[in-house]
Amino acid sequence: MIIPSIDIIKEKVVRLYQGKYSQVKEYNKDVQYYVNKYRTHKVKMMHLVDLDGARNYNSKQTFFLKKLLIKNSNFFQIGGGIKYSKDIETLLEFGAKRVVIGSSALNNMNKTKKWFKKYGPKVITLAIDVYIHSNFFKEVVISGWKKRTGISLEHIIAEFSPFGLKHVLCTDISKDGTLSGPNFSLYKEISKKFQHIEFQASGGVGSLEDILILKKNGIKKIIVGKALLENKFTLLEAEQCYQKESFHA
């Protein structure tokens, strides 16, 4: 399954390079343009990040998101600045399909576990961003990748699995926004180790071959952002490639 992705700042579609707000590129089409474009291919879900909310909780684009979600109900997986129960409830009431929990899961694990019980694992996606050390330790990073936690990806999955964890969006931060190819070995390892998790591979997809390799490595959901915005390939081509058993350049 291909999941198109867009990030927004002040209602504009943008992309950051490796999560750096100092390296932002703005696109001249609005969000609804991409929604309409992708829905023509019967996409089941889009991934959207409110970068204003992710950077500053008080700058969340709530009014804009409300309009967007009401118009496109049960279509968006959305994240950015989710700290409290009211944030989850508001987005679900607006019509979000899933809510993405990132830094909050590390800052307050007990609270997040209560969310899994209250709202159910079907509507929660855990975003785990990792920095891969030379010894292959997968350290989770939070707060816009500025804070290293000393906690491993494996530990986080073990913490939340008893509460029904199913959806995990995993990003190797060195790959995000680069179009240089995903960390294939990472996804191959974790998809094999945690077969109860439906991983979403995020970061680095720049070619159709990347999609095929991810699928061969056990990843069933692939987030594609910049490559589609930059017209490296079309959504139709990506979906056709995903359905193929082999890739021919």
Catalytic residues: 7, 129
Q: Which amino acid is at 170?
A: C
Alpha carbon 118 to chain centroid distance? 22
Tokens of 164: 């029904």
Cα(168)–Cα(116) distance, rounded to whole angstroms? Answer: 13
Task: Tell me the β-bridge partners of 132.
Answer: 138
Tokens of 112: 């997040």
Task: Tell me the β-bridge partners of 203.
Answer: none
Question: Nearest 5°: CA angle at 228, between 225 and 229?
Answer: 85
| Contact between 172 and 203 (Cβ < 8 Å) | yes
Q: Which long-range contacts (CB under 8 A, 24 or more apart) does 225-232 make?
A: 225/4, 225/5, 225/6, 225/7, 225/15, 225/47, 225/177, 226/15, 226/177, 226/179, 227/179, 228/4, 229/6, 229/13, 229/15, 229/27, 230/179, 232/179, 232/206, 232/207
